[in-house]
Structure 1
């Protein structure tokens, strides 16, 4: 009887083992079809049955372009000119009112401070809770610029130079031109791209009928607008004409393969939308959201590493790269809740470790901040 039970048990184990070995993809149409598999385990993957272009160029059956992100292009150019004005504080007093006019695009031309006219503006696309933060930064850089002739020190706003570069620092050591740039990159570009245009509401928009008078569907257009905020040319990364997020994506490419991940998924997702393959679009969305956040984190760690090297040897560069690092950590707040690695509270805790005064930080502080980022990314 014991022998019989033994052989029965052994037979069951062998059958189970054989069964495990024979599970896999059983669909002959799948790219990973396993002819030896007897049980499908849900692992089947499929090659795209539609064409994915090598540049961000999409047309309809008549050969007309279906791409439009002109609003994003206008806002990118507005931020370029706004930051250029903010950097004038290194050599002259500047006005918070001018920055506010540029942010809101008063009178369609930044109240005369933009080189072009547009009906778009940065302010109305800004995450509402951060509008006050950014306008406060405008006031802070105005205050600092009044002391551009002074040498910056702890408690004293002014400028410091390193080589041919000069930087304006507030009394707390922050370079507000960098904080302004990164805050808008996060609260406008990143927030709009990832949370609004690639968010569930917009990605449930109509994808059947072209918008009246246009060549694209609403869903196609929303995807294009997300790509526009990425700030990269249509043939990225072949072209080096990058700005803002495209620039920093390229900067971190060697470390995290960000160029290929971002561009291939923007192309794949748009092609999937046009061909009504929503499952592929959804995969691309997750890849884009994860990598966008990772770019910010890695750029912050890059600047923190530089700061540790500049500590005690180059105060101008030290405060400059710490301001950059702070700015990129700030942008982590705008990673979508469903994919983010750090909560808003955790990001705020990291920012608090800068003590509100960059003059007070040391290498241990810097390494502690970097270690937290490194452990999460």
Structure 2
């Protein structure tokens, strides 16, 4: 079964040109002007671009550099300095190789577990405690990376380095790779959360006087964009904001390469362009329809990749006695973390709750030595794969064939 038939049978994508759309959500209820959706994410006012997602680009590059610091330490046999990594997380003490990042005024930490719909509204009064808990979890990965880089060989119950082909990787005592848990987990707790639970939140987009200002095209101070336009662009930036980084845009392409999911990338891209064009045209009903499409289809990416890596890791447990498969399983672990930060547009809540995600993660590393207990690991991986695939309506076999 094709992916396009799996999830969005109830959501159709309108034609690229939208003509005389009745806008019941506009302040006047009048018909909007004719407008077209551009072929690329290009929007201008008075011949000047109105698109700006520089803050999102900075954060993508920051996380990439953090991952590279750990990767380089593993390859060179040097220490992955936890203090440097912690400074990178909060962008203090000029830790980055780029002066632009150091002086950007942006950081990853304050955007981790910080969304409006999920951490302010859905979790209610517990937002501060939970936010600090999530941030502390990622800071722990930085400590674990340093511990694994101190010259010990990885073994059951022992943090250290392991030779994966021609390169070394760093593993915690339970067999998880801190670098991958950091990268994939932050893709969820920061990037995914900000996209679907913050910037694409109607509470955020329409907050205060945003809707009336957008309708009247009142721009932000000396900027070229309205607040609503900029908010939408910030969601877009967390996916497309830094070419060459291996985050959501890259993994969307990987999922899209499989015949079962080969409309996903185009559908998300079109929804972003159409929603932005609708904002310019004050067509808020069409904007909201695109939000639902993006939320549902973007959630498929961590779901499919989690199952893929669970199955890839399971296969490698047999071929090399476990350790080499731990890299794939660590990627799966991080993508499972990301599932908590998805948003089901039908409920405005995650597809998997925190307790469900925590249970899957605990199951993966249960036992005396976590992933090193490979004799009992395969059945656990299959059970988690079945749980995820059933929720999203694809089969384990479909996800396992994605390259």
CA distance in 2, matches of 1:353, 1:267: 40
In the other structure, the counterpart of 1:368 is 383
Change (3 A) 1:115 1:214: closer
CA distance in 2, matches of 1:178, 1:114: 23
CA distance in 2, matches of 1:305, 1:191: 26
Kindly state the Cα deviation for residue 161 of structure 1 after the two structures are TM-superposed.
2.1
CA distance in 2, matches of 1:93, 1:191: 31
Kindly state the Cα deviation for residue 198 of structure 1 after the two structures are TM-superposed.
0.8
Tell me if 1:244 matches 2:247: yes
Please state whether the residue corresponding to 2:169 is helix, strand or coil. Answer: strand
In the other structure, the counterpart of 1:225 is 234
Contact 1:167 1:175 in 2 (8 A): yes
CA distance in 2, matches of 1:271, 1:316: 49
In the other structure, the counterpart of 1:350 is 360
Q: Which has the larger radius of gyration?
A: 1
Tell me if 1:186 matches 2:188: yes
Contact 2:33 2:281 in 1 (8 A): no
Please state whether the residue corresponding to 1:166 is helix, strand or coil. Answer: strand
* 1:122-150 alpha-carbon deviations (Å, 9 max, x no partner): 11111124111111111111111113xx3
Contact 2:60 2:245 in 1 (8 A): no
Contact 2:160 2:172 in 1 (8 A): yes
Tell me if 1:213 matches 2:197: no
In the other structure, the counterpart of 1:175 is 177
- Determine which of 308, 324, 342 is the counterpart of 1:302: 308
Kindly state the Cα deviation for residue 101 of structure 1 after the two structures are TM-superposed.
0.3
Which runs of 4 or more aligned residues in structure 1 lie more than 4 Å from their structure 2 counterparts after TM superposition? 112-115
CA distance in 2, matches of 1:307, 1:146: 26
CA distance in 2, matches of 1:115, 1:322: 35
Kindly state the Cα deviation for residue 49 of structure 1 after the two structures are TM-superposed.
3.7
Please state whether the residue corresponding to 2:336 is helix, strand or coil. Answer: helix
- Determine which of 38, 41, 54 is the counterpart of 1:56: 41
In the other structure, the counterpart of 2:167 is 165
Change (3 A) 1:241 1:170: closer
In the other structure, the counterpart of 1:319 is 326
Kindly state the Cα deviation for residue 114 of structure 1 after the two structures are TM-superposed.
4.6
Tell me if 1:270 matches 2:276: yes
Please state whether the residue corresponding to 2:202 is helix, strand or coil. Answer: coil
Gap regions ≥5 residues in structure 2: 1-17, 20-30, 114-130, 393-403
Change (3 A) 1:297 1:332: same
Counting only pairs closer than 5 Å after superposition, residues 83-232 of structure 1 correspond to structure 2 as: 83-90=67-74, 91-107=77-93, 109-110=94-95, 114=98, 116=100, 117=102, 118-127=104-113, 128=131, 129-147=133-151, 150-205=152-207, 206=210, 207=214, 208=216, 209-231=218-240
Please state whether the residue corresponding to 2:234 is helix, strand or coil. Answer: helix
Kindly state the Cα deviation for residue 220 of structure 1 after the two structures are TM-superposed.
0.3
Kindly state the Cα deviation for residue 113 of structure 1 after the two structures are TM-superposed.
5.0
In the other structure, the counterpart of 1:13 is none
Contact 1:144 1:169 in 2 (8 A): yes
CA distance in 2, matches of 1:143, 1:241: 29
Kindly state the Cα deviation for residue 264 of structure 1 after the two structures are TM-superposed.
0.7
Change (3 A) 1:241 1:143: closer
* 1:179-219 alpha-carbon deviations (Å, 9 max, x no partner): 11112211111111111111122120421311110111000
* 1:225-272 alpha-carbon deviations (Å, 9 max, x no partner): 000011356xxxxxx745311011111012422211210111111111
Query: So what's the TM-score if we normalise by structure 1?
Result: 0.81
How many matched pairs?
323
262-271 or 183-192: bigger deviation: 183-192
Query: So what's the TM-score if we normalise by structure 2?
Result: 0.76
* 1:274-324 alpha-carbon deviations (Å, 9 max, x no partner): 111111111110111111211001010110111121112133431000000
